[in-house]
Chain A
Amino acid sequence: MSVVAVEDLALRFGERTLFDGLGFELERGELLAVLGPNGTGKTSLIRILLGLLEPSAGRVVIEGCPPRERCHRIGYVPQQRVFDRDLVLRGRDLVRLGLDGHRWGFGRFGAEDRSRVDAVLAEVGATPYADAPVGRLSGGEQQRLRVAQALVADPVLILADEPLLSLDLAHQRGVVDLLDARRESAGTPVVFVTHDVNPVLHSVDRVLYLAPPAAPRAPRSSGRASPALPATLAASSWAIGTPDEVLTSDTLSRLYRTDVDVLRVRGRVVVVGTPDDQHVHHVGNGH
């Protein structure tokens, strides 16, 4: 049975459709990479899965339960956000928050909880700096603690939103390895939002590619609103499948409605010809 089922999901902000008709299932142990340029709803999809955002249509079920009811623990690894240097918080406190931070009261922190936190710290290799103030740790160390924070509550699903951003290659590798280890040991599926597939390419089972919705092509000279576009043109485009199915010139050209070339260079995926230059840059150099 699948862990996550997404059916006919749509997200609209006003007249803008980020995606619609989106559907997929996530099996145990699977890693789904969500790719696409900025503003295509990658983070919004994560927020829907977290139960923080209501979709415009469709539904999501996680282990038989809608996300907003929070029946199950979901591990969330956000973008690396630099902590204030003076923040009164040690690495182990950050991890502990993932265990019981949402509960009311002071709470008793028993031996069982303590050993659980210690075990997860050891699992991600953060024991040496577990007692250091988080604000003084490097980005890579902070991100390891983030993974530990997501793992400590034994989640049924892990959602990671650009977790490798601003990490160097060695630390990128480290974070991906930690997620792979968890998929292996507990079968926890991972949804991994990224603008660059290369650091996770060898771990990815499937790719969900969200392309920008077609812009209404109003003539720029006249300020008048454009006539209503056919629904097929205004609709968003997305594709899901294995990397070999989705990351091809054919598929991406169809999604972008223009000629896009997907090259494989020394085991890396390079996308050339998308309308957004920045995107080319990122995917191209594997930043």
Chain B
Amino acid sequence: MFTQLLAQHFVHTALWAGAVVAVVSGAIGVFVVARGMSFAVHAISELGFTGAAGALVIGIDPVLGMLGGSLLVGLMLGLLSLRGRERDSAIGAVLAFGLGIGVLFLSLYQGYATEATNLLFGSIVGVSGTQLRDLVIVGAIVLLGLAFLYRPLFFSSVDPEIAAARGVPLRALSVAIFLLLALTTAEAIQVVGVLLVLTLVITPAAAAQRLTARPALALVLSITIALASTEGGILLSLAKPWPTSFFITALSFAAYVAARTLEWSRGRQKRSSSKLPRRVWAVR
């Protein structure tokens, strides 16, 4: 049965769609983790849901509503360019209200409830040829954007003070990364759903961060982990009829746990191999 399914056209489409979303999510995840934007990812994806629910109510394509919702929130958060706790509480406040509106929209919507479930938990096997084309276009925009912004974006993520002193436009970059993130989120929602976007945008990058301090290698590792989790998850769901999203989250979390374990055992080796204290402090 597995091989029969594998020959199906919709399975190919799903695998390609998953690959596009995984590459884009894994790439932007590196910046999202470096900037400490995990909570913002969650907010953008949940408000993408509100946008999609709104679109269902007025009878237009929910993907458009989702894009609109996440872009609007991304733009707002980017313009505010808040830091630390202030950002967390601002996002929390906006997120709660946005979800409330989403609940209202869903109650107003008279159509099939499956549409809502798909939004929340993903529906990768339902991706059509046109949707795949749109995913590729949006994905290409995000990747080109990231490639163009790579150095200043990286600079401002790890070392904002010096970056500003060198003339890097921090606020413009903040808006740019939030907009690219909004596009990525709208993509990832179609694969894993609103509630599980973090599994592609945060987990792979967080795992990569445990494995290397080399920025370029971290980018490659993050994309690889996202790709392996997505494609592996889709294939596993063909073998066993459990939700695809479950398999994807399980695989990416396994990669994260493995990375932490590897880091921990490396640290142990290092500590036991050197008899001297790691650093000798100068005596004052």
Contact = CB atoms under 8 A, between A and B. Distances in A.
Interface of A: 50-52, 70, 74, 76, 78, 81, 83, 86-90, 93-94, 97-98, 100-107, 131-134, 138, 140, 149, 168-171
Interface stretch (B18-26, B78-86, B109-117, B159-167): B159-167
Contacts, number: 94
Contact of B152 (A81, A89, A103): A103
A278 B258 CA distance: 50
B151 interface: yes
Given A76-B165, A88-B34, A89-B158, A101 B151 contact: yes
B162 A104 contact: no
B159 A97 contact: yes
B209 to A, nearest CB: 5
Q: How many residues of B sit at the interface, in one of the four size bands?
A: 20 to 34
A74 B213 contact: no
B165 A52 contact: yes
B242 interface: no
Given A74-B165, A76-B165, A168 B281 contact: yes
Interface string B132-155: 000000000000000111111011
Contacts of B147: 105-106
B225 to A, nearest CB: 14
A90 B161 CA distance: 18
A121 to B, nearest CB: 15
Given A101-B163, A168-B284, A106 B150 contact: yes
Nearest to B263: A86
Interface of B is mostly: helix
Contact of B215 (A51, A93, A171): A93
Given A101-B154, A102-B168, A132 B159 contact: no
Nearest to B210: A86
Contacts of A149: 162
A140 B218 CA distance: 26
B276 interface: no
B279 interface: yes
Nearest to A91: B213
Contacts of A106: 147, 150-151
B214 interface: yes
Given A88-B212, A138-B279, A104 B152 contact: yes
Nearest to A51: B167
B148 to A, nearest CB: 6
Contacts of B214: 88, 90, 93
Contact of B148 (A78, A83, A104): A104
Contacts of B159: 94, 97, 101
B96 to A, nearest CB: 28
B223 interface: no
A132 B34 CA distance: 17
A86 B209 contact: yes
B2 to A, nearest CB: 38
A271 B98 CA distance: 58
Contacts of B218: 88
A97 B154 CA distance: 9
A81 B163 CA distance: 14
Given A76-B165, A90-B213, A105-B148, 4 more contacts: A101-B163, A102-B167, A103-B151, A168-B282
Contact of A87 (B152, B158, B163, B165): B158
A190 to B, nearest CB: 15
Chain A CB count within 10 A is highest, among B154, B161, B164, B166, for B166
Instruction: List the 4 shortest-distance A-B pairs measured between CB atoms, nearest first.
Output: A101-B155, A170-B282, A133-B213, A76-B165
A237 to B, nearest CB: 28
A142 to B, nearest CB: 11
A88 B215 contact: yes
Given A88-B215, A138-B279, A105 B150 contact: yes
B95 interface: no
A16 B9 CA distance: 71
B164 A104 contact: no
14 contacts: A50-B165, A74-B165, A86-B209, A88-B30, A88-B208, A88-B214, A100-B151, A101-B168, A102-B152, A102-B166, A104-B149, A105-B147, A134-B213, A170-B282
Contacts of A87: 34, 158, 213
